[in-house]
Structure 1
Amino acid sequence: MQEHRAAQRRRILKAASISFGGGAIDCTIRNLSETGASLDVISPVGIPDRFTLIVDADRSKLPCRIVWWKEMRIGVRFEAS
């Protein structure tokens, strides 16, 4: 099967938070590339289209936009801050 993504994904398992409008939702980063990530969430309900992903390990802040979702997983593209 051919890979059609712009950047190669790396499988990881990192704790993070989806931060928006003064609130935050815990999530797990399942895979990561230079351009985006796949996140596991307890529920996608209430998560806005754009938010900041805060990676617990290094407290990095990544502006994101949701590009797809399926059940308890969402795919995001990183945006310029």
Structure 2
Amino acid sequence: MDNRRETTRRRVLLAGKVMLPGGGVIDCTLRDRSEGGARIKVLSVIGIPDEFRLLVEATGEMVQAKVVWRRPNEIGLRVL
């Protein structure tokens, strides 16, 4: 597999929330993360915009994220 990441991702299993611009919320699970990105698992990528805020529930951390790639139940993110 081609690894184009600038930093190494480490595996995690953290509950999160995709905070939609219109005020909605979609539950997700962070599966891995690095200094500049993350991979989240969702029930469906339908309705998730290209940019959104991501809340990491365990830490209360809120980051701005941009979608880099999508699969049916996963999204690769760049943290802005």
TM-score bracket for the superposition, by shorter chain length: over 0.9
Residue deviations 1:29-48 (CA, integer Å, cap 9, x gap): 00000000000000100000
User: Please, what TM-score do these two structures have when normalized by structure 1?
Assistant: 0.92
Mapping of residues 5-20 of structure 1, within 5 Å: 5-20=5-20
Shift of 1:4: 3.3
User: Please, what TM-score do these two structures have when normalized by structure 2?
Assistant: 0.93
In the other structure, the counterpart of 1:71 is 72
In the other structure, the counterpart of 1:38 is 39
Count of paired positions: 79
User: Matched residues, percent identical?
Assistant: 43
Structure 2, gaps ≥5 residues long: none
4+ aligned runs moved over 6 Å, structure 1: none
Structure 1, gaps ≥5 residues long: none
